[in-house]
Structure 1
Amino acid sequence: MSDQDWYDDSAYENAAEQSHRVARAGWTAILGVSGLLGAAAIAAAVVCVASAAGMIYVVMTATR
């Protein structure tokens, strides 16, 4: 017959545990990428503001 009893849920428990580990790794990856995209957006905004300030400075000093 079978070497497992009818109430043996070890395969199900192993699959559920593996599923939780994979889901946790997936969410960690999603949060990491979202954080990097947020940091890149902030850096782009800082670069835009700095370049606008530089252009205003050049225009102001050129028109004196």
Structure 2
Amino acid sequence: MGGWDPRAAVQMRASQERLLSTQEPCLWTGDVQLAEPFKDALWFKFVKRVCGICVWEGI
């Protein structure tokens, strides 16, 4: 989707404006359009941008 380049990442949106608590985060959604028929495996990781620095999921 973004070729592992954080600058090309799919923008995500929070489903709620305020978090209920840090233990119960909200759902994040993003839209992706795939060409049909799509038969390849889809691999992805989440990236969070903190003060301009990209933090990869699982690090």
Same fold (TM over 0.5): no
TM-score (ref. length: structure 2) = 0.19
The structure in which a higher percent of residues are helix is 1
**Structure of larger gyration radius:** 1
Bigger fraction of residues in strand: 2
